[in-house]
Amino acid sequence: MADLADIVRGESARYLETHYVAPIQRKALRDIAECRTAAMGWTPAQCDDCEGEYRLFCSCRNRSCPLCQGEARAKWLEAREQELLPVPYLQIVFAVPRELYVLARYAPRVFYDAVMRAAGQAVIDVGRSALHLRLGCQTLFHTWTQTMLRYLPVHCAVPAGGFSLDRSRWQPFAPQDLPTKALRKRFGTLLCQALQEAAGKGKFDGLPPTVRIEQLLVRVRARRLKVHAKPPFGGPEQLLEYLARYMYRVAITNDRIESYENHRVTFRCRVSASGSDETLCTLDAQKFLDRFLMHVPPKGFVRSRSYGFLGNRNRKQKNERAVRLIGRDRTLPSREPFKPLRLCPACAAKRGIRQTHFAPAPEVEPQFDLPLRPPPA
């Protein structure tokens, strides 16, 4: 069965001849093509099953590579679970208006930063004005649908309670007490203000002449933005697991790719929110690569951020103070600490493991040169 690295090795040379690719995207292509091959080098390792020594081929550690994020995802989830408060949680989803998607193509870093700040600050502002509480929230941003089209929601995990304005006590609230209408209006106001300020500083000067920030903002202000707020299914632990899947995941994983032949890629995608119904989607390999590169995050962009009393400044002290004021001991999830599994190729095959550190493809050599320097405009 084919994987993303096979598609990159087979299609990148032709793709680079006909498309402009940003340096961060070119680096992602090069890393994915060489990940866990002889080009990345290897280190001796001991198999956990047969205890024999084998060659462990190195990972590229690129955050757009589907092979390299399993351990990082597990460690992130462990750290967030240690910070869970013994209160109910609320999941809030801010959907970015489609009129603004064009900005994600030409100025992704500036636009994504504005969206995340607007979402996090909207929760804090509405909590202070409507509930008279100092709230905290963990936000996460992703950019894709099941068919790798562009979709830009911000997910927020918000404890159903907060500090009083004088920080002397903890005050809970019911999920329905947080007004969705106020969140929607505040998010739209903050987002438009941030984009207008960025335009005034010249950060959108690279837009084509047919795209004007003023016209986009007029259309956004005239429409009703979509904001959903409800308790998560399965509790806060389930919510964190859901966020972790997007925190360290790329637009498509290898287990969804069914075939790659005759320059066409077939992959599985869900057609219902429950995931019970799946269908096959077939794309031209060049179109497939184009959709994948849309979701390579800009250099330095942080996908998950914290606001309010969950912010990084004095985060541990505020978290411990919240637990004391709540007056209940936190219940940590009963899961064993994460330990990476190390298997030789033979033992990995016995377990049916397809693409891991433990069953590398050392015979694959780099087939093309991908310089990091972009071509002339």
CA distance 70 to 67: 7
Mean pLDDT lowest among 148-152, 246-250, 305-309, 358-362: 358-362
Q: What are phi and psi of 130, to 5 degrees?
A: -90, -35
What crossing angle do the helices spanning 213-221 and 180-200 adopt, rounded to 10°?
Answer: 170
Band (pLDDT 50/70/90 cuts) for residue 362 is very low
Does residue 306 lie within any of the structural domains? yes
Band (pLDDT 50/70/90 cuts) for residue 292 is very high
- Determine the structural domain holding residue 92 and report its residue range: 85-251+294-326
Does residue 247 lie within any of the structural domains? yes
Q: What is the pLDDT of residue 332?
A: 65
Mean pLDDT lowest among 110-114, 145-149, 308-312, 366-370: 366-370
pTM of the complete model: 0.87
Whether the Cβ atoms of residue 266 and residue 285 lie closer than 8 Å to each other? no
Task: Show the CA angle centred on residue 296, arms to residues 294 and 298, nearest 5°.
Answer: 110
Does residue 12 lie within any of the structural domains? no
Does residue 70 lie within any of the structural domains? no
Does residue 8 lie within any of the structural domains? no
Q: What is the pLDDT of residue 113?
A: 96
Q: What is the pLDDT of residue 87?
A: 92
Burial 216-230 (b: 16+ CB within 10 A, else e): bbeebeeeebebebe
Which residue is listed with tokens 């940003």? Answer: 22
Does residue 157 lie within any of the structural domains? yes
Percent of the chain with pLDDT over 90: 51
- Paired with 266 in beta bridges are 259, 282
Band (pLDDT 50/70/90 cuts) for residue 350 is confident
Does residue 73 lie within any of the structural domains? no
Does residue 367 lie within any of the structural domains? no
Band (pLDDT 50/70/90 cuts) for residue 377 is very low
CA distance 201 to 216: 17
Q: How many domains does the chain have?
A: 1
